[in-house]
Each structure stands twice: as C-alpha cells, then as structure tokens.
Amino acid sequence: MTRGRRALKAAARFADRLRVHRPGVVVLLYHRVGADTGSEVDLPPALFDDQLAAIAASGRACTLAEALDRLGGDGPADGVVVTFDDGTADFVDRVVPALDRHGVPATLYLATGFVGAGTEPVSGGRALSWSALADACSSGLVDVGSHTHGHLLLDRATPVEAATDLDRSVALIGEHLGRVALDFAYPKAIAPSAANGALVRERFRSAALAGTRANVAGRTDPYRLCRSPVQVSDGMGYFAAKVAGGMALEDDLRRVLNRVRYAGART
C-alpha cells in the first residue's frame, strides 16, 4: 500500500468515529479476482475467499432482492450484498466457485456489449461468454443486472443514446439468460443526468452508485443505492470497516478525483 493510500484509509477510519453510525444494508462492489493485473480492484483469490468466509460467518449475507425488501420495510434493515461490475472471465473462473464454497449470493452488473464481442471490458481482461454465465446463473447464487450495453456514462449521453443502450442491455440478458434484468449499476458510479435517471427508473427496480456507507431503511432511495468498493489494500481490517458501513471519507475524496479523471470520457 502506498503512503498516500495508507494515510487516506487511516483518516477515513478515524472519521468513522466522528460520524453517527446507522445500521443498514451494505452493498459491496468488486471488479476482478485473481487476474494478476496488479490493480487495486483485482483481489488475490485467497483474500477474496477470506472476505467471503467473514461475510458467511456474520450471518448477514443476502441477495439484492432481499436487501431491497428490507430497505422498503418498516423495521431496521441489515445485510451484506456482494456485487460485481462489468463481466470478465474471472467471475466464472474464480468468483462463482468461491461463492459456492461459502454459500454467499452475488449480483453481477453486466456490460453486455463486451460479452462474446472479442473486446476487453473496461476493467481489462477477457470477457466471459453467455454460455459460461448461464451456467453460473444455474447455481442459484448469481443474479444478473444491467451495467449498460456499452459501459455508457449516463451523465453525458443523450436520452436517445441512453434509452437505446439500456434497452439493448435488457434485451440481451433476456435473450441469452432467460431472465429480466431488474437492477442497474451506473458505469464508474457516476450519477446520471435528470433525463437519463428517469429512463433508468422506468426500466429497473433499483440503481446503484458509490457511497461507501450503509443503506438505511427509511433513508434510502432504491435508485441511488450506495456501494462500498473493495480494494486490495483494504485487506481484512479496512474490509471489516466497510462491511460495518464505514470508510465514507474515502469515497468523498474519490468522487472529487473522478470529476477530473473522467472529465472527457464517454464510457
């Protein structure tokens, strides 16, 4: 871990002590496992396995559908939801066997344009195939939502572009997997324009952004679900803090940096 990243995580952990803690549903965001890219979002298989073991042992693991039901109820909500973005081959090669070992469900937000297209997803690596993903879904532990078709950033796409892209994604998931894509995650966790946000609400039951904090019953818009990105440098200590709904300061800074990082991007 670099000195700057270590300082940021320590500061975020300290800031947690000053915040009012509200229990809720924590939605974890993963990208890659065991792809050996050296990226902060490419977790070693052993670390990912340890994290799933901790989630399973906590008794808090739940599906996204269960989480949404709890958030829409009258009482306090609790749970941990595992989610992945994009759709790379290591999801079926590494992730699904680990989910099966620990009995932990997960939602894959799939960017359908990369599947079987011979092009790399934005997070790099080899895209998975429709047949492999269908096999993963048959385990009963994997659900599939939309991450757009072309990983389109919905704060800068026109409504016509956005509608076409979203409909293509939903259609392909239905055609190849025989299921309706009920849930959505915004690419790069960038919030949409008002017009494109309305298009998402028309098509899905939920939509996820970033946030690195718990989703609290009675205070959560299901179309602005917070997710907590998991990084290699979290290890198990900072991972436990994120599972507890902490580390929000880390996300606050990331959003500031992303305004610059993605200023000229389309996908």
The predicted-structure confidence for 28-46, as pLDDT tens digits, reads as follows: 999 999 999 899 999 999 9
pLDDT beyond 90 at 258: no
Distance CA 142, CA 123 (A): 20
pLDDT tens digits, 192-231: 999 999 999 999 999 999 889 999 999 999 999 999 999 9
pLDDT beyond 80 at 263: no
* Region of 106 on the Ramachandran plot (φ > 0 left; ψ -120 to 50 alpha; else beta): beta
Task: Give the pLDDT score at 76.
Answer: 82
Distance, CA of 89 to chain centre:
16
- The domain ranges of the chain are 3-261
Of 256 and 54, the one with more pLDDT: 54
Distance CA 32, CA 52 (A): 14
Strands 206-208 and 183-185: parallel
Q: Which CATH architecture has domain 3-261?
A: Alpha-Beta Barrel (3.20)
